[in-house]
Structure 1
Amino acid sequence: MKPAYLLPLLIVAAGCTDRGASYQPVLDGQPNAAYPSDLAECQTLARDQQHLNRSTKQAVLIGAGIGAVLGEVDNDSDPLGGAIVGAISGGAAGASDAADKRETIVIECLRRRGHPVVG
């Protein structure tokens, strides 16, 4: 793998590790005394959900395949570079979806515990 491709890959991987699970929701009103501990428990529940799940892995593979094809078709590009860029793009999209699911877990968990979460 070319060194120029490593930096974006590392940045994407580092930036996605805890996204969504540390979400701080907006409340309609003042939090009660149980809110801080409930928030911590709900965030832990969300954090326990796999971030690199099956759909994220599929997005990486699809992105790599499309990138490789586009890199092959474009005379100024190379297939490996296209595959790497496609994998990074697909991985970022999949990780973003996983982060959204984690955020939803935090919101729903707090709502079920009786907190007035609006988003």
Structure 2
Amino acid sequence: MKHPAIAALSLVTLISACADTGAHYTPILDGAPNPAFQSDLAACQALARNQRQFDQETMGATVLGAGAGAVLGEMDEDGDALGGAIAGALAGGIASAVDVSDRRKAIVIECLRGRGHPVVG
């Protein structure tokens, strides 16, 4: 029973790390960057990375997916609740991580635009 718990913890950690990728986004500019661009980019990336409520949403989606997968796995003719929980956690966590990454990327873009940089995407 110890191995599934370790696998689940590893899965949650991996999914949470994926959700942080949008905070590392470097956008495309329409023109040359001005001297303040690098410091503004670092500040905007830090702002996006520090939105911890997104991590809680990813964790919640992972747990919800695991619960739904366990129920569906148990209802299957094989009765594999653990397999269903792992599959559900993957599905819920990955979907949420992709959404969170996109939201963090949008924060970086809007933050830089707000600081006067000509960001196109």
Global fold match (TM > 0.5)? yes
Q: Give the TM-score normalised by the residue count of structure 2.
A: 0.81
Which residue of 39, 52, 73 maps to 2:55?
52
Q: How many residues align?
A: 118
Answer yes or no: is the 8 Å Cα contact 2:23–2:46 preserved in 1: yes
Match of 2:91 in 1: 89
Tell me how far 1:116 sits from its aligned partner: 0.6
Aligned sequence identity (%):
57
| Structure with more of its chain in helix, by fraction | 2
Match of 1:79 in 2: 81
Match of 1:6 in 2: 7
Q: Which amino acid aligns with 1:52?
A: D
- Matches of 2:20 and 2:64 in 1, distance apart? 24
SS at match of 1:16: helix
Match of 1:19 in 2: 21
- Matches of 1:2 and 1:89 in 2, distance apart? 22
Answer yes or no: is the 8 Å Cα contact 1:12–1:88 preserved in 2: no
Out of 15-24 and 105-114, give the one that drifted further.
Answer: 15-24
Q: 1:105 to 1:63 in 2, by over 3 A?
A: same
- Matches of 1:17 and 1:66 in 2, distance apart? 21
Tell me how far 1:77 sits from its aligned partner: 4.8
**5+ residue gaps in structure 2?**
none
Q: 1:65 to 1:76 in 2, by over 3 A?
A: same
- Matches of 1:56 and 1:18 in 2, distance apart? 10
**5+ residue gaps in structure 1?**
none
Tell me how far 1:114 sits from its aligned partner: 0.6
- Matches of 2:107 and 2:117 in 1, distance apart? 14
Match of 2:111 in 1: 109
Q: Which amino acid aligns with 2:107?
A: I
Q: Give the TM-score normalised by the residue count of structure 1.
A: 0.82
Tell me how far 1:23 sits from its aligned partner: 0.4
Q: Residues 43-79 of structure 1, C-alpha deviation per residue, up to 9 Å, x if partnerless?
A: 01111111412x3233223312321122112223511
